[in-house]
Structure 1
Amino acid sequence: MSTKALTYCPVCGDPLAHRSAGGRERLFCPACGYVHYQNPVPSVGLVIEMDGGLILVKRGGSVKTGHWAFPSGYIEEDESVEEAAVRESREETGLDVELIDLLGVYSFPEGPPSSGIIVFYRAHPVGGMLRAGDDAQEVRVFPPDAVPDMPFRTHQQVLQRWQTLQQQRQIAREANELYVIRQAEQADSPAILDLLKLVDANQDLSEEQCRAAMLRLAERQTMSVFVAETSREPHDTIGFVALSLMQTLTGGRGWIDDMAVAVDYRGEGVGAALLEAALRHANRLNLTHLYVNTARGGDATRAFYQAAGFQDGAISYLRIR
């Protein structure tokens, strides 16, 4: 609701007046005391990777009609940011997507049409069919080096961030001839399941337990999973670590219950690199402790975590901050 267009109180209907509140001049109602705060509108956008390129939509509607931009839209009051991102993709591109990374949060106080905040995710298609929907005139996959000029500053900024991250990943691959650590994607699920069975406590997993594990991996709302992938083709997944997140009254905790490295790659530092990725992620989330159930592995597992600084014990921990 625009301040310029607001004349009457939305609560009692009396005419609004002006007064200073919170260091700004705002509209208020002398009759009932209502104060009108003009807050930014939250929205969500997606950088969807497909067939080696990025998906853009040609905009319909009344704002920047006919221009190419990333799929985006407003967040409904009854949905999370993640749910809004998945919905917007389905509505504008016809694709069901998996959210891979949070690419950034950007503000646009200049509009259009009003001040807002947009949360961008990197995503991959997991279903559906590419087609223009909702108010999109057209949808297309563009090569990363041939993305047309986009009319929104925030879309240009997130494209630059995506390009920077791609360059960093390439540098990491070139610097490490053996493997690279990255966040897990849905396509990694079969390889992770095979590695999961290498954990001593998982030797006798039933089919039902395997299906349950894959379901938790697909949802992973409170879990972050990192994989080690060979740098050279065919980019095999050779290790993983699953970090569960726990919120307590006194802060956040992290829990590692499963981590495994393929037999042929043990002794190459893969486990240490995976643990380092989990620790960096725990630091970004401001977690205070990282716990691990060393009883699920053997003597080598306990020795590995002790060497990494964890306390000795069946349930071992490392204080982060």
Structure 2
Amino acid sequence: MAMGSSVTMKVAQEATDQVIDELRSVRAAGTAFGREVTRESVDRLLRSGAILVLAQEGEHTVGTVTLLPLHLASGLRGYIDELVVSTDYTGHGLDKALLHEAMNQAREAKMLAVHTHTTVENVQRYEKSGLHQKDAHLMAYLQL
């Protein structure tokens, strides 16, 4: 399914039933891993100051990205996590559009920089979206 011009970006303001259902749906149709999405987890995320961007086509969420604020002594920075795109929308630029909106949100929040970690296989995905690799880091995930 091609990404049409009807895909819009929305920032979630609260953990509504619709937001939770849509997050569960896009994670099931994408490549996300981790624990189940719950009202408590989304509410905690939003209360922390995180910016949850939803890509929607019509009434359906087809992708998400989370921008986490990092309050450091040197200033406010951001961390991009959980970039998830429904498999029906991969290869059509939706990840680039989500990252672009996350960067717009970071600028609005006056963040000095935005960081992320990714696998070697996904570096090209971020570079195509305009992000540049500053350093090479090896990161291991330990699921608790």
Aligned to 1:190: 21
Alpha-carbon shift at residue 262 of structure 1 (Å)? 0.6
Residues 1:309 and 2:131 are matched in the alignment: yes
Q: 1:314 to 1:184 in 2, by over 3 A?
A: farther
Q: Which has the larger radius of gyration?
A: 1
Contact 1:199-1:258 within 8 A present in 2 as well: no
Q: Distance in 2 between matches of 1:313 and 1:257?
A: 17
Look up the SS of the partner of 2:68 in the other structure: strand
Bigger proportion of residues as helix = 2
TM-superposition CA deviations, 1:239-261 (whole Å, max 9, x none): 00011111111111101121111
Aligned to 1:210, what secondary structure does the other structure show?
Answer: coil
TM-score (norm 2): 0.76
| Unmatched 5+ stretches in structure 2 | 139-144
Identical columns (%) = 20
Q: Is the 8 A contact 2:27 2:86 kept in 1?
A: no
Cα deviation per residue 1:202-256 (whole Å; 9 max; x = unaligned)? 1xx4xxx315x642312312211011111x4xx2110000111111111111011
Is the Cα contact below 8 Å between 1:196 and 1:258 reproduced in 2?
Answer: no
Aligned amino acid, residue 280 of structure 1: N
Structure 2 residue identity aligned to 1:199? T
Q: Does 1:225 align with 2:47?
A: no
How many residue pairs are counted as aligned between the two chains? 128
Find the residue that maps to 2:113 and give its secondary structure. strand
Quick check: 2:67–2:79 contact (8 Å CA) kept in 1? yes
Name the amino acid aligned to 1:189: I
Higher relative contact order (CA 8 A, sep 6+): 2
Alpha carbons 2:53, 2:64 under 8 Å: kept: yes
Ranges in structure 1 where 5+ consecutive residues have no aligned partner: 1-175, 316-321
TM-score (norm 1): 0.36
Structure 2 counterpart of 1:274: 98
